[in-house]
Amino acid sequence: MRGAGVMRRSAATPGVRRAGVLAVCLIGLGLAPAAPAAERTLPDFTRLVDTYGAAVVNISTNQRAASAPGPDAPDAPGETPFGELSRPHEGAPDSLDNASLGSGFVISADGYVLTCAHVVEGASEILVRLTDRREFRARLVGADARSDVALLRIDASGLPTVAIGEPRRLKVGEWVLAIGAPFGFDNSATGGIVSAKGRSLPSENYIPFIQTDVAINPGNSGGPLFNLRGEVVGVNSQIYSRTGGFMGVSFAIPIDLAMRIAEQLKTEGRVRRGWLGVSLQEVTRGLAAAYGMTQPRGALIADMLPNGPAAKSELRTGDIVLEYEGRAIDRSSDLPPLVGQAQPGTRARLTVLRRGQGTQAAHAIVGELKEEATKTAAQPPRREEGRRPGIVLSELTAPQRRRQDLDYGARVEAVDEGPARSAGLRPGDVILEVDGKRIGNTTDFERLLAHAPKGRPALLRIRRGAQTLYLALDPPG
């Protein structure tokens, strides 16, 4: 047997020598063997989990559940992809006493715990379990349904806490880690990357969500999202799913926003948000051309609520907001979160592009958002090239004027193939203005369109139902 061992060592020696010679040759040529790809690119989360895992808690509640599935149930189909956004939530929907499972994390050693509002919604009892198996009954300090943030307090001291990071420093493609209790499995860690930042979801446009591909499942809600430095950058809140489980798209609330909300809940018991009372619209390429912009950017003010903060300010309908308090506005979804973070009563400075007058400063006193005061604008279809307007107009009848509360404008009766249809005009729309000038009748429309500047789309202001929109229409050529 010893002879066999000697033979194996001797046989292996030439191979070792050949490998050594090959390595020397490669180094000499500047082609040293590279480390395995996994060693060079994959992060090591072990120290992070060891250091901060104990600050992540499991949350269970007893609550009165509905006897039928809600709109976020896995089998409730959505009409659009975003109609299938859901908040990962555990529990039997047909039970009256529902044991809900979620996650949270300790933000102060004296017992304050941050989680999602939907995790504790309707709870008659909230239990917080630590990794050392201690269990506490928690008191709900406050919850904000709009942001989905809740603050709890447990009677404990000397608790391990997380470190708070800066979400603005996150980069798309950066590695992140979630720790939570999916399906009740305590302290489960899942990793992934940041997929996008500043996502505005249909259910909430005041939160600039962090999108990731970290696996988030029922029970993960309210748990922390860490960066590689071990800092919490987000609170895991929502997922996109056709099945109710993880499908690669998850959304987290930025931690700086969540902490501000938690502080307001702690000190005031409620959250106060800034509000301008405007309906915003995305700036399309057609609208950008109508304003003389080289590329689309900013948030177009399509309408203002009567007696709202914007209506009493220097802002005007048709303005494109380019900056808010020095922060650039690239898309319309960038503005609401910035306004929402402002304290009501503060004087905000905005930079706007006003058609025909160029870029200028405008100021507005920020109001306080009320739940019933929200209003959004529908997005217009994409504008395409055409040769003629292709539109049939009629005068507004007295009943139509009363019904829509209008004393001017021309009603669209039919839209043929051409620039009008490509611009997004529909039968039933009421054209109110052309390039900022009011339309009293159909003749006004034809006259104003005929005198529109050459080489630039005409800017139409229209009423569609209860909404006011801007569209870019190529003049007849």
List the catalytic residues. Answer: 118, 148, 221
DSSP states of 89-129: --S-TT-SEEEEEEEEEEEETTTEEEE-HHHHTTEEEEEEE
State the distance between the two ends of the chain, measured CA to CA, in whole angstroms: 97
Scored b (16 or more CB within 10 A) or e, 289-304 reads bbbebeebbbbbbbbb
Task: Give CA–CA dist 199/297, Å, rounded.
Answer: 16
Task: Give CA–CA dist 388/140, Å, rounded.
Answer: 62
Task: Give CA–CA dist 295/287, Å, rounded.
Answer: 10
Q: Which of 108, 165, 103 is nearest to 130 (CA)?
A: 103
Task: Give CA–CA dist 276/272, Å, rounded.
Answer: 13
The DSSP 8-state label assigned to residue 461 in this structure reads E
Task: Give CA–CA dist 378/302, Å, rounded.
Answer: 10
Task: Give CA–CA dist 66/457, Å, rounded.
Answer: 53
Beta bridge partners of 210: 252
